[in-house]
Structure 1
Amino acid sequence: MDLHPLNLRVTHLAAEAKDVVLIELRATDAQPLPPFTAGSHLEILVAETQPRHYSLLNDPRERDRYLIAVGLAAQSRGGSRFLHQQLRLGDTLSSSLPRNHFPLDEQLQRYCMVAGGIGITPILAMLHWCQAHEKDWRLVYCVRNRQRAAFYETLRQLDPERVRLHVTDEAGDHLDTAELLNSLRDGEHLYACGPAPLLDALQAAAGPRSDRLHVERFNAPPTCAEGNKGNEGFTLHLRRSGLSLWVAPEQSILEVLEQHGIDLPFSCRSGICGSCETAICAGLPEHRDLILSDADKAGGRSLMVCVSRALSESLELDL
């Protein structure tokens, strides 16, 4: 299966804020693009070989273009640096179909959105959807300084009364997440995307409201349940092939499978795309992905082999 079936042409490039570039993409054959929902992202092959995930920020009703915005990462592994420094108008990029691991509950009437930095991108698509469906929404947008407030004028055009800008350098402190969560109204859910410290603070303050908090992270956090047990090595049994392999503490399941010539779909290697989901036959997994729901993780029926490990001494997979 081709994981990157779309050929997209760069039709517009613009600096949106400090270290943020806006990229407009259209189909090379000028046909309508596959539809997407608010919260969706594309997996784009950067420099033809590096898969990177970027949220779609434009109105989901648009079928003629996709809009993404890319922040220049301080510790870029080449993806954001390439798009900032080498991408040109007219270039073509290979992309997946839109995927959504951060969907809105469209049955709600009230939404509180929180964005940190480049995390504004999926939130902006959600706000377009809320406006189109006459939903009650509000936004808290956290940035270090005003020069980094991407799309602020666009947000004000949507509804300036609903947008609150929290500038850390001016406020002298980070957002009071507990106060924000306490302000949630009846039936209102909070959707947040941004850097790990912001999302960690929201989750720590959520308490009994955790079922009304929805977050999207840039990368899966390096968690480890039950002390350090999940970081120990374990035996991997493959039911269909009959192999038993050792997964060392510094290895992922995916790396061990690759070393032994076992091919399976994968993409992000960071637990955020879902391509490598594999069924579990026996054993206790330690989930480290951002795809499976809490209920799915508790069920222990599958895991993402790129990041997840075992809490038991052995793990058997349907491979």
Structure 2
Amino acid sequence: MFDVVVCKKKQEAENIYSFELTLPEQGYLPKFQAGAHIDVEVRPGLIRQYSLCNPAGKTDRYLIAVLNDPASRGGSVGMIEQVLEGQTIRISKPRNLFPLDENTGFTLLLAGGVGITPIIAMAEQLQQLGRDFELHYCGRSRTSMAFIDRLRHSPFAAKVILHCDDGDAKQKLNLDTVFGATPEDSHLYICGPAGFMDYVLGQATDSGWPEARLHREYFSAPDVASADTAGDEEAESFTLRLARSGKELKVAADQSVANVLLDNGIEIPISCEQGICGTCLTSVLEGIPDHRDYFMTAKEHALNNQFTPCCSRSKSSVLVIDL
């Protein structure tokens, strides 16, 4: 983590604020590619991830945008209400868990709400590379959608289609039409609210899109868990064995693996605590994880060789991990 200064804070749309971050002294920040995010220390002990939404390669500053989410667990509210222009905060170097494949023939970009943040950077990178793409941006209303002017005045404005819930029927997103007009070898990148993403990805799968061409980044876990990952009321205790030391720890039904490790003085990288960022991903050597994350794909879950200790558990009585 290192210090940056909030040189500009701006309201971009209803409940969405952007933060422009620079080094305390003139200089360039670490390089990044479209889709990357940084960890931001909102306050001591509270770290959240935000996508970089300035053009990749322009590292005199970082630009992030934050939604004032009423369901916030402290991150967005802390950023919007407590982080002020001129303030010094701590961030990490960029990490990219949502990389853009620059060599595909056609790229379909889909953004919902504040999910435009990594998607707009992808559009700008594809435009710079001369790649063919189309961007569909969905929101409740134009006033709730960030960076509209930036998109409207971009060199790829003709490739941007806005879909507003409060608009006429022609403005509503019709996935049958979108998918029908997309070349067969296209790749889809999507970011936005979990429900929106699950719907689009479900429709894409039903339309024959292979998993390898579907790329996503969740900002938060869905509100409703699936039946096989229901909740702690259905959880069972299990034994966690640390392969390197041979130490065994009991994980009770109401405990997370991450908390048990921390209680025993074993620190692992933790950030979102919802299984969406992949920060805590840990190798599994024996046993069957009960995957409750939204970071890995179904194919990766089936391998059962890694899991997210922040939220996932074990289906077997003993889970051996590489710690």
1:294 Cα deviation from its structure 2 partner: 4.5
Superposition deviation, residue 314 in structure 1: 1.8
Corresponding position of 1:192? 190
Distance in 1 (alpha carbons) for counterparts of 2:63 and 2:31: 13
Code of the residue aligned with 2:147 in structure 1: it is F
Question: Residue 104 of structure 1 is aligned with which of 91, 100, 111?
Answer: 100
Structure 1 segments unaligned to the other structure (5+ residues): none
7 and 224 in structure 1: CA distance in 2 versus 1, 3 angstrom threshold: farther
Which residue pairs with 2:181 in the alignment?
Answer: 183
Paired with 2:164 and 2:318, the residues of 1 have a C-alpha distance of: 48
CA separation of 1:61/1:226 partners in 2, compared to 1, >3 Å: closer, same or farther? Answer: closer
Aligned to 1:162: 159
Bigger mean CA deviation after superposition, 234-243 or 171-180: 171-180
Paired amino acid for 1:237:
R
User: Once the 2 structures are TM-superposed, how far is the Cα of residue 227 of structure 1 from its aligned partner?
Assistant: 8.2
1:181-260 aligned within 5 A: 181-207=179-205, 208-211=208-211, 212-221=213-222, 222-223=225-226, 225=228, 231-260=235-264
1:281 and 2:280 correspond = no
CA separation of 1:248 and 1:264: change in aligned 2, threshold 3 A: same
Work out the CA distance in 2 between the residues paired with 1:79 and 1:228: 23
CA pair 28-134 structure 1, distance change in 2 beyond 3 A: same
Give the Å deviation of 1:152: 0.8
How many Å separate the matches in 2 of 1:143 and 1:273?
23
Query: Amino acid of the residue matched to residue 209 of structure 1?
Result: W
Q: Secondary structure at the match of 1:170?
A: coil
SS of residue matched to 2:143: helix
Give the TM-score, by structure 1 length. Answer: 0.91
Specify the code of the residue in structure 2 equivalent to 1:166.
H
Amino acid at match of 2:64: I
Q: Which residue of 2 aligns with 1:306?
A: 310
Q: Secondary structure at the match of 2:167?
A: helix
Contact 2:229 2:292 in 1 (8 A): no
Task: Count how many residue pairs are aligned between Structure 1 and Structure 2.
Answer: 315
**Matched-pair contact (CA < 8 Å) for 2:229–2:291:** no
**TM-score (normalised: structure 2):** 0.90
Instruction: Find 1:142's aligned residue among 138, 142, 145.
Output: 138
Q: Which residue of 2 is the match for residue 31 of structure 1?
A: 27
Deviation at 1:263, TM superposition (A): 2.6
Name the SS of the counterpart of 2:215 in structure 1. Answer: strand
How far the C-alpha of 1:75 sits from its partner, in A, is 1.9
Letter in 2 for 1:54: Y
Does 2:272 correspond to 1:268?
Answer: yes
Matched-pair identity in %: 39
Alignment deviations for residues 59-87 of structure 1 (CA, whole Å, 9 cap, x no partner):
00202010011111112222222222222
CA distance in 2, matches of 1:188, 1:272: 25
> Is the Cα contact below 8 Å between 2:217 and 2:295 reproduced in 1?
no
Native 8 Å contact 2:270 2:279 kept in 1: yes
Mapped contact 1:101–1:291 kept (Cα < 8 A):
no
Report the Cα offset of residue 110 of structure 1.
Answer: 1.3
Distance in structure 1 (CA, Å) of the matches to 2:113 and 2:235:
32
Q: Which segment is superposed worse, 29-38 or 242-251?
A: 242-251
Distance in 2, matches of 1:258 and 1:38, equals: 33
Cα RMSD, aligned residues only: 2.3
* Equivalent residues of 1:177, 1:201 under 8 A apart: no
Change (3 A) 1:25 1:244: same
Partner of 1:91: 87
Distance 1:285-1:94 versus aligned 2 partners, 3 A rule: same
Following superposition, the deviation at residue 93 of structure 1 comes to: 1.1
Tell me how far 1:204 sits from its aligned partner.
1.4
The 10-residue stretch of structure 1 (154-163 or 230-239) with the greater mean CA deviation from structure 2: 230-239
